[in-house]
Structure 1
Amino acid sequence: MRATLRWAHSDLRTHRGEALFLVLATAGIVASLLLATALFGYATNPWQRIFTQARGAHVWLHTAPSADARKLSRLDGVESVAGPYRTEAATVSSRGTRASVELRGTPALPSIGRPLVTTGRWLDPAEPDGVVLETGLARALLAEPGDTLTLPGTARTLTVEGVADSAEPHYSPGEQPGLVWALPSAVRAPAGRVIGLRLDDPADTDYAVQRAVTVLGAGAVGEVSTWQQARAEAQGDDRLLGQVLGLFGLGALIAAGLAVHGAIATRIRGHLRDLSVLKAIGFTPGQVVRIFLLQHLAYALLGAVGAVALTEALGRRVPGRLGDAVGVWQGLPGHTLALFVVPVGAVLFIGLTTGLAAWRAGRVPPVPVPRRSAPAGGRLTPLARRALGLRLPAALVLGCHKAFAGRGRSLATVARLTLPLLLIVVALSAWTTIDRFHSSPGRVGLPTTLTVRSDGDDGTADVQAGLTRDHRVAAAYPGVEVAALVPGQTGTIALRGIGTHAEPYPCALAEGRAARGPDEAVAGQGLLDLLHARVGDWVRMTVGDRPQILHIVGRSLEPQNAGRVVTTTLDTLRENDPEVSPAFYELRLRAGADPMRVAAALTEAGQGHLDVHPVTNPADGLSPLRAVVAGLIAVLALIGLVELLTAIGGSVREGERDVLALRAIGMSPRQITAITVTATSCTALAAAVAATALGLPLARRLIDAQGDSSGIGAGIAQSPSPGLLFLVLLAAVLGAAGLAALPAARAARRRLADTLSAVS
């Protein structure tokens, strides 16, 4: 044991840099996997906790006032019914901020879908104008208990009594109204009722919705929301962040394992004589295997423990969503188990990848085998001889020959270096795609910047003319969005009529063409998946008691409502219902216009009758992903650096046997150094080219697959610019050349006596 420890200590002193890189790479990989686990827990568990504590309803139905809710309680599979509660659509304002809300008349604290009051108190019958706000709505309005909300256009005011968490979909400007619980007396203009169903088996949600709509009548049901939709919206971007971290963490773990395997294999080839000496003095094959295996497991364990310690101590201090996710995750039941399983799994994986190389070390014979006299690269190929005949620099020709002559070993080195570079290309593609949402939102389904809603009495033409009077507004598209029941009556989608035949809405199309004629429409990927439809199909939906049949002529990129949106023109909807009038206006601004200044100017010009807010960009929630991508690129670059150092060390050791021959033919130390530098640079160049060729299509497939799963649809992927890819390639080649220059120069200038001892 003492001899083993002394050998390990001596080896550590000789290869300090390599050991440090292995420890840091393992720490970065384990930290990435832990953060991915935290984000998955943060994305899923908070909503599940709220849903369980609130005994949330699996289905919420918005119905007409005449719907008989008693029929629903008799349906098979329905455990209990919440409501019906009268509802009123309204707009509230606080501190200059407006929000569309749904006032829900709730006489007492419900037992199904119970709001979990976090601040303040529940409704008090002594305060008839008191309300409780859903947490997301309160955050948007900057409201807290004691504040007063006004209803623009009326003399009514509401007093905030409390703020509560809910498992229902949260407030989203322009998409989902905020939820406000109020006493029934505060709901003065009820437009409908809402009914909640808690089911015996949540898996039967679609069937239960279908039966409920059948019992009540399709004309009596205006909107349906399910617990799956609420959970998906609650998870949102956090789940995507967790998927990205997990994907790259696993990829980095594989790359690190291969790098460690290559490092051990290269060191074994360079220390065959030392291993033979160990065997000669009494070390058994098992002891030799354990030396290498335990040594690298110790490096991996040290890095894993460091990652766990840093994540636990500093994880919650990371600004933004990552810090919040770690804070929530540390309070979840599976937190301790994950802290053990993730690092142990990473260490065991690295141990498995090092096992084969260590086993090869154990097979080294105790009597040194004489090295072959032939050069490591083998005979010159006809191409290399022809290049020398053309008087190309001998160092360049021999370096390229050395890089690719030993086919199996060279290909393995290129493959190990390609993997981290490939993941870097994928990470840069993700970064570029996020930037595309910000720089060119019109190309990813966000052609407009502001949404305007009017509560005045002006006509449509007057409102539109007033909006376009501002020279910074390029176009104003009138529109209306209604909830429609899909065939089978298992859920609702958003039917949007926006723009006119004369001035159509500029949808971002990924497939097909724009809707130009009557009854033509474009649909998001989420809607096509829901209806199992394709471009070119006719689809039927129900708006109230009116059927609407549309011809899907294109697939649009739809970042909103999980892609469950079908968009046609306002003129098409008016053909089916002449009374349809614009409910909002989408504004496209001119280049260079400041959206916030335009919104302020329009709000002031509207004299309190216009509600102006920016269009929600889904990339705003992905801002933490940039820091994540940057950290992952650093970890991957570190792994690539380890592999480069391994390749350089192996190339220098194997080139020692050629030094005498090269000097004998008159080559200077500088030329001998150039051979090794050229060989290393060629290896890095081949890996960078392969990583780019494989990484770009892989990144596009992964990003489009994520777009499909989120409902936006394929077509959002954006490849990095050629200039950025060239910089990556140049950095890989110059980095390899720079790292190889010093050790290659030292080897080329060694004394002849040292060289003779190395090749003997």
Structure 2
Amino acid sequence: MRATLRWAHSDLRRHRGEALFLVLATAGIVASLLLAAALFGYATNPWQRTFAETRGAHVWIHTASSADTGRLARLDGVASVAGPYRTESVTVASRGTRASVELRGTARLPSVGRPLLTAGHWLDPAEPDGVVLESGLARALLAEPGDTLTLPGTPRTLTVEGVADSAEPSYSPGEQPGLVWALPAALRTPGGQVIGLRLADPADTDYAVQRAVTALGAGAVGEVSTWQQARAAAQGDNRLLGQVLGLFGLGALIAAGLAVHGAIATRIRGHLRDLSVLKAIGFTPGQVVRIFLLQHLAYALLGAVAAAALTQTLGSRIPGRLGDAVGVWQGLPGHTMALLAVPVGAVLFIGLTTGLAAWRAGRVPPVPVPRPAVSAGGRLTGPARRALGTRLPAALVLGCHKLLTGRGRSLTGVARLTLPLLLIVVALSAWTTLDRFHTDPARVGLPTSLTVRTDGAPAPADLHSLLAGDSRVAAVYPGVELAALVPGQTATIALRGLGTDARPYPCALAEGRAAHGPDEAVAGQGLLDLLHARVGDWVRMTVGDRPQILHIVGRSIEPQNAGRVVTASLDTLRENDPQLAPAFYELRLRPGADPHRVAAALTTAGRGHLDVHAVTNPADGLSPLRAVVAGLIAVLALIGLVELLTAIGGSVREGERDVLAFKAIGMSPRQITAITVTATSATALAATLTATVLGLPLAHRLIDAQGASSGIGAGIARSPSPGLLLALGTATVLGAAGLATIPAARAARKRLADTLSAAA
């Protein structure tokens, strides 16, 4: 045991930098995987817990006031119902912020879809104008119990009595109205009703929706939402962040395992004589294997324990969503198991790769095997001799010759270094794609910056003139959004009429062409997937009791409503319903215009009749991804450093015999050093080029696959700029050259007797 510890201590002193990088890389990998687990738990468990505690309804159906919803409780598979409740769509304002809301007349606290009060109290009949706000809406309005909400354009006011959590979709400006519970007497002009169905088997949701719509009649159904849609909305971008962390964490773990394997294999080749001596003095093969295995397991264990401890103690203090996710995750039931399983799994994987490499050390014979008479590089090839004849620098020619004739070892070294660089290229592509959402939103489905809604005054013609009269507004597109039932009546989608035939809405197309003829429309990826359709198909949907048949001529990049959107011109929809009037206006601003200042100016000009808000950019919720990508790049860079140190150590050891020949023909130590530096730089250059060639299409596939699965659609991926890729390649090559200079110079300046001894 003492000899084993002395060997490990000696090896640690000789490779301190490599050991440090392995510990740091392992810590970064384990931290990434733990944060991924936290984000997955944060994305799913809070909503699931709220749904269970509120006994949430699996289906919510908005119907006309005349619909006979009582028959839905008698449908097979319906365990219980919530409501029906009368509803009224209004706009409320608080502290200068407006929001479109649904007032839901609720006489008493329901048993299905029961709101969980987080502040204040439930509705009191003594306060007829009292309301309870859904927590997401309360945060948007900065409202709390005791505050007064106004209804712009009317003398009505509402008093906030409480704030409650709900498993229904939370408020989203321009997409999802906020939910407000009120006493039935507080509803002045009810426009419909809503009923919730709690099913005996949630897997039968689509079938239950189909039967409910059939029972009520398609013309009576306005909108259908399911628990799957609510869960997806609640998970939001947290699941995406978790997927990114998990994917890169696993990739980095594989790269780290290969780095450890390569480092041990290189070290074994350089210590064949020492290993033979250990065997000769009585070390068994198992003891030799344990020397390497325990040493690198200690490195991995140290990094894993440090990552787990830091995540547990400081993770909740990370600013933003990551810190919130860790804080929630620490209170979930599976937290302790994940905190133990992830570090243990990472250590075991590294131990497996270490054991495979260390097994070769146990097979080293006790009697040293003479090294081959010909060096690893072999004799000079014809091209190398001709290159020397053209008076190219000898160091450049011999360095490239050393790499190209290194057989499998050179290719293995290039492959191991390629993996972390490839992951870095993918990470940079994700960063660039995210930046594009901010710098060029028009090309990712967000051509407009503001949405304007009105309470009916002024008249549409006057309102259009008011909006277009602002010099900072480049274009005004009238629009309307209708809830439409898809064939089979299992879900509702958004049917939008935007722009006119004279001034079409500039949809961002990823496939096909723009809609400019009768009955033509473009659709999002989510809609095409839902209908199992593709560009060129005709699709039929139902708006109330009116069928609408459209020809899908293009696929648009649609970041809203999970891509379940079909967009035609307002004139096209008016052909089916001539009474259709604009419900909102989309504004495209001139370059450099501040959306918030324009919104404030238009709100003032509208004299309280306009609700103006900025278009939601999905990239706003992905701001933590920047820090995640930066951290992952740092971890991958550490793994790349380990690979470079391994390649440099192997190149120096295998070139010890060549030093004799180079000195014999009169080469200076500087020239001999340049050969090793050139070989290492060429390895880094080959790995960088391979990573770029393979990483760019891989990044496009991964990002577009994520876009397609989220409903936005493929076509959003963007590659890093050539300058950024050039900077990555330059940094890698120059870093490799810098790291190789000192050990190569030491080897070139060894005394002749030392070199002869090492080469024997």
CA–CA distance in 1 between the matches of 2:405 and 2:207?
Answer: 65
- Write out aligned runs for 1:474-623 (5 A): 474-623=474-623
- Deviation at 1:406? 1.4
CA–CA distance in 1 between the matches of 2:161 and 2:608?
Answer: 26
- Write out aligned runs for 1:721-760 (5 A): 721-760=721-760
Q: Root-mean-square deviation (CA), in Å?
A: 0.7
| 8 Å Cα contact 1:396/1:675 also seen in 2 | yes
The SS at the match of 1:133 is: strand
CA–CA distance in 1 between the matches of 2:407 and 2:253?
Answer: 26
Output one character per residue of 1:324-378: Cα deviation in whole Å (capped at 9) or x when no partner: 0000000000000001110010011111111121000000011111112212111
The SS at the match of 1:26 is: helix
Query: Quick one: which amino acid aligns to residue 369 of structure 1?
Result: V
- Deviation at 1:461? 1.6
Query: Quick one: which amino acid aligns to residue 715 of structure 1?
Result: G
Residue 12 of structure 2 aligns with which residue? 12
- Write out aligned runs for 1:292-371 (5 A): 292-371=292-371
Residue 632 of structure 1 aligns with which residue? 632
Residue 147 of structure 2 aligns with which residue? 147
- Write out aligned runs for 1:312-461 (5 A): 312-461=312-461
Residue 201 of structure 2 aligns with which residue? 201
- Write out aligned runs for 1:242-253 (5 A): 242-253=242-253
Matched, 1:647 2:621: no
Residue 31 of structure 1 aligns with which residue? 31
Which residues of structure 1 form unaligned runs of 5+?
Answer: none
Query: Quick one: which amino acid aligns to residue 136 of structure 1?
Result: G
- Write out aligned runs for 1:63-78 (5 A): 63-78=63-78
| 8 Å Cα contact 1:67/1:216 also seen in 2 | yes
- Deviation at 1:459? 2.0
Query: Quick one: which amino acid aligns to residue 302 of structure 2?
Result: L
CA–CA distance in 2 between the matches of 1:188 and 1:194?
Answer: 16
Output one character per residue of 1:722-741: Cα deviation in whole Å (capped at 9) or x when no partner: 11001101111000001001
Residue 240 of structure 1 aligns with which residue? 240
- Deviation at 1:656? 1.1
CA–CA distance in 1 between the matches of 2:636 and 2:6?
Answer: 32
CA–CA distance in 1 between the matches of 2:31 and 2:403?
Answer: 35
Residue 264 of structure 2 aligns with which residue? 264
The SS at the match of 1:497 is: strand
| 8 Å Cα contact 2:213/2:221 also seen in 1 | yes
- Count of aligned residue pairs for this structure pair: 760
| 8 Å Cα contact 1:449/1:615 also seen in 2 | yes
Output one character per residue of 1:289-340: Cα deviation in whole Å (capped at 9) or x when no partner: 1111111011101100000001011100000000000000000000000011
CA–CA distance in 1 between the matches of 2:333 and 2:559?
Answer: 34
- Deviation at 1:704? 0.2
Query: Quick one: which amino acid aligns to residue 348 of structure 1?
Result: L
- Deviation at 1:581? 0.4
| 8 Å Cα contact 1:136/1:171 also seen in 2 | yes
Residue range with higher mean Cα deviation, 370-379 or 357-366: 370-379
Residue 59 of structure 2 aligns with which residue? 59
Residue range with higher mean Cα deviation, 440-449 or 384-393: 384-393
- Deviation at 1:653? 1.1
The SS at the match of 1:586 is: strand
- Deviation at 1:456? 3.9
- Deviation at 1:231? 0.3
Output one character per residue of 1:578-625: Cα deviation in whole Å (capped at 9) or x when no partner: 110001000000111111111111111111111110000000000000
| 8 Å Cα contact 1:257/1:354 also seen in 2 | yes
| 8 Å Cα contact 2:512/2:553 also seen in 1 | yes
The SS at the match of 2:655 is: helix
Output one character per residue of 1:610-648: Cα deviation in whole Å (capped at 9) or x when no partner: 111000000000000000000000000000001001110
- Write out aligned runs for 1:52-131 (5 A): 52-131=52-131
The SS at the match of 1:713 is: coil
CA–CA distance in 2 between the matches of 1:174 and 1:378?
Answer: 70
CA–CA distance in 2 between the matches of 1:90 and 1:414?
Answer: 64
CA–CA distance in 1 between the matches of 2:418 and 2:16?
Answer: 25
Output one character per residue of 1:425-461: Cα deviation in whole Å (capped at 9) or x when no partner: 0000000000000000000000000001112422212
Query: Quick one: which amino acid aligns to residue 453 of structure 1?
Result: R
Output one character per residue of 1:23-63: Cα deviation in whole Å (capped at 9) or x when no partner: 11100000000000000000000000000000000000000
| 8 Å Cα contact 2:422/2:691 also seen in 1 | yes
| 8 Å Cα contact 1:35/1:242 also seen in 2 | yes
CA–CA distance in 1 between the matches of 2:120 and 2:407?
Answer: 72
- Deviation at 1:407? 1.8
The SS at the match of 2:515 is: coil
| 8 Å Cα contact 1:537/1:551 also seen in 2 | yes
| 8 Å Cα contact 1:218/1:544 also seen in 2 | yes
Residue 471 of structure 1 aligns with which residue? 471
The SS at the match of 1:536 is: coil
The SS at the match of 2:312 is: helix
CA–CA distance in 2 between the matches of 1:391 and 1:7?
Answer: 47
Residue 289 of structure 1 aligns with which residue? 289
CA–CA distance in 2 between the matches of 1:464 and 1:404?
Answer: 70
CA–CA distance in 2 between the matches of 1:710 and 1:389?
Answer: 60
Output one character per residue of 1:382-441: Cα deviation in whole Å (capped at 9) or x when no partner: 211111121111110000011121121111000000000000000000000000000000
- Deviation at 1:757? 1.5
The SS at the match of 1:294 is: helix
The SS at the match of 1:720 is: coil
CA–CA distance in 1 between the matches of 2:334 and 2:128?
Answer: 44
Query: Quick one: which amino acid aligns to residue 151 of structure 1?
Result: L
CA–CA distance in 2 between the matches of 1:5 and 1:638?
Answer: 27
The SS at the match of 2:79 is: strand
CA–CA distance in 1 between the matches of 2:689 and 2:310?
Answer: 36
Query: Quick one: which amino acid aligns to residue 295 of structure 1?
Result: Q
| 8 Å Cα contact 1:456/1:610 also seen in 2 | no
CA–CA distance in 2 between the matches of 1:99 and 1:739?
Answer: 59
The SS at the match of 1:254 is: helix
CA–CA distance in 2 between the matches of 1:697 and 1:139?
Answer: 41
Residue 694 of structure 2 aligns with which residue? 694
Which residues of structure 2 form unaligned runs of 5+?
Answer: none
| 8 Å Cα contact 2:458/2:609 also seen in 1 | no
| 8 Å Cα contact 1:59/1:197 also seen in 2 | yes
The list of structure 1 runs, each at least 4 consecutive aligned residues, that deviate by more than 3 angstroms after superposition, is: none
Percent identity of paired positions between Structure 1 and Structure 2: 85
